[in-house]
Amino acid sequence: MTDTTATSKLIQGRTGNWEIVMGLEIHAQVASKAKLFSGAAVGFGAGPNEQVSLVDAGFPGMLPTLNGHCVEQAVKTGLGLKAQINRRSQFDRKNYFYPDLPTGYQISQLYFPIVGEGVVEVEAEDGSFFNVGIERLHLEQDAGKLIHDLSPTDSYVDLNRAGTALMEIVSRPDIRSPEEAVAYVKKIRTILIYLGTCDGDMEKGNLRADVNVSVCREGQYEKFKATGDFSHLGTRCEIKNVNSFRFISQAINYEARRQIEILEDGGSITQETRLYDPTAGETRSMRSKEEANDYRYFPDPDLLPLELEQAWIEEIRASLPELPDDKRRRLMSQYGLSQYDAVVLISEQAKADYFEAAAAGRDAKLVSNWVTNELSARLAADGKDFSVTGRRTGGPDRGGGHLLAHRQGSVRPRLGRRGHAPSGRGSPRSRPGQ
């Protein structure tokens, strides 16, 4: 059996070719100073259980109060995904017991989500584009955190994260390879950062993905697309909470091979939830996959249905920043950049902004090459990114001046390169949404 490649969506098994089919559920923490239904602060680095209200802790008689800013952030995200904004939505209780869920239920949106169908255009590694359908976006609460490594006999509960607002972005099963999955998550992350609705910090768990993986025989996916009949697809397994691009790719490759080996040996796939173990490089069973009826969903009796005014939605639409696809097209037309150069620049909002400031009155292609190659490499070597390239570190105007002088021959190449590479000392980091 061979691994998938960037140029093929097929895996060769012992008995023939197989196709991978995937849908992703991306959990993005809403950029907000307070939680979804309480006034408790949201932030990274606080001591255990220091950011917990009585609502978050599930005390009797405590009623939730919806955070309007989180609603605005969800609407803004839906508009950025070119999705339908549902003027009427509803919160439901998802009932299950777990020690990090004090109330015994999670407030989510099953039946009437705040955002409906949309579509995202994603660039593949070969420069082509493919579309991924968005099925829905809904708001929900995050759970707390269980800590198992502080004691050999006890587990500890930290509720700082409990009640934090999440946007769950659910895709259609339009993703066909590990490379496409990674490209899709990168694109969603970029859109959220441009919008300022999530900081996209995967290391802190502020953006993570549940990956639904299934395999089917070659040609069956086209039948599914033509008919909408899911019986043409295989049984899916969900890989929970994958929080890096590399792990997403590795988990998909392993899980697809695992399912194919079972099927070719005459077995069947059990629909279940699995975890990816990056140390062992494999997925392992977590629990059988639940369906909606297992959670006994019902409308939350403490929260009225949410009704949005169209005029308010249009105000948010008018306030949207320039989004990645629009910026890519503008950089190509305004500066004469190639599609490849424009895509590299827009991958980071700060990088694109730095380029435009540095390119003012200068050779845009030369500045683009410098920003995406020399400057990016120097920042990466120093463990920094473009958010540190402010005035105190030289800034784009100074950097562009050094570059122009280098091209005109007034600065020796080595001096020119060292002169415009910022050190980052004394420059505070900033993240969208803060």
DSSP string covering 125-161: TTS-EEEEEEEEEEEEE---EEE-SS-SS--EEE-SS
Q: How many residues does the chain have?
A: 434
pTM of the entire structure?
0.88
Burial 360-394 (b: 16+ CB within 10 A, else e): eeeebebbbebbbebbbebbeeeebebbbbbeebb
Sign of CA dihedral 310, 313, 317, 319: positive
Give the per-residue pLDDT at 344. 94
Give the per-residue pLDDT at 336. 96
Q: Is the pLDDT at 425 greater than 60, yes or no?
A: no
More confident call, 385 vs 12: 12
What is the chain's mean pLDDT, rounded?
89
Give the per-residue pLDDT at 407. 53
Residue 237: enclosing H or E segment and its boundaries?
A: strand 237-242
In this prediction, residue 403 has a pLDDT band, given cuts at 50, 70 and 90, of: low
Q: What does the alpha-carbon distance between residue 194 and residue 199 come to, in Å, rounded to a whole number?
A: 9
Q: Report whether 411 contacts 398 (CB < 8 A).
A: no
pLDDT tens column, 162-213: 999 999 999 999 999 999 999 999 999 999 999 999 999 999 999 999 999 9
Give the per-residue pLDDT at 323. 97
Q: Is the pLDDT at 421 greater than 60, yes or no?
A: no
Q: Which two tokens stand for residue 289?
A: 């996959």
Give the per-residue pLDDT at 172. 97
Q: Give mean pLDDT, residues 288-309.
A: 89
Give the per-residue pLDDT at 414. 40
In this prediction, residue 291 has a pLDDT band, given cuts at 50, 70 and 90, of: confident
Q: Is the pLDDT at 428 greater than 90, yes or no?
A: no
Q: What does the alpha-carbon distance between residue 115 and residue 135 come to, in Å, rounded to a whole number?
A: 9
Share of the chain above pLDDT 90, in %: 78
Count of CB atoms situated within 10 Å of the CB of 176:
18
More confident call, 142 vs 430: 142
Q: Which range has the worst mean pLDDT, 8-17, 171-180, 310-319?
A: 8-17
More confident call, 406 vs 244: 244
Q: Give mean pLDDT, residues 363-376.
A: 92
Q: Is the pLDDT at 427 greater than 70, yes or no?
A: no
pLDDT tens column, 58-114: 999 999 999 999 999 999 999 999 999 999 999 999 999 889 999 999 999 999 999
Q: Is the pLDDT at 293 greater than 90, yes or no?
A: no
Share of the chain above pLDDT 70, in %: 87
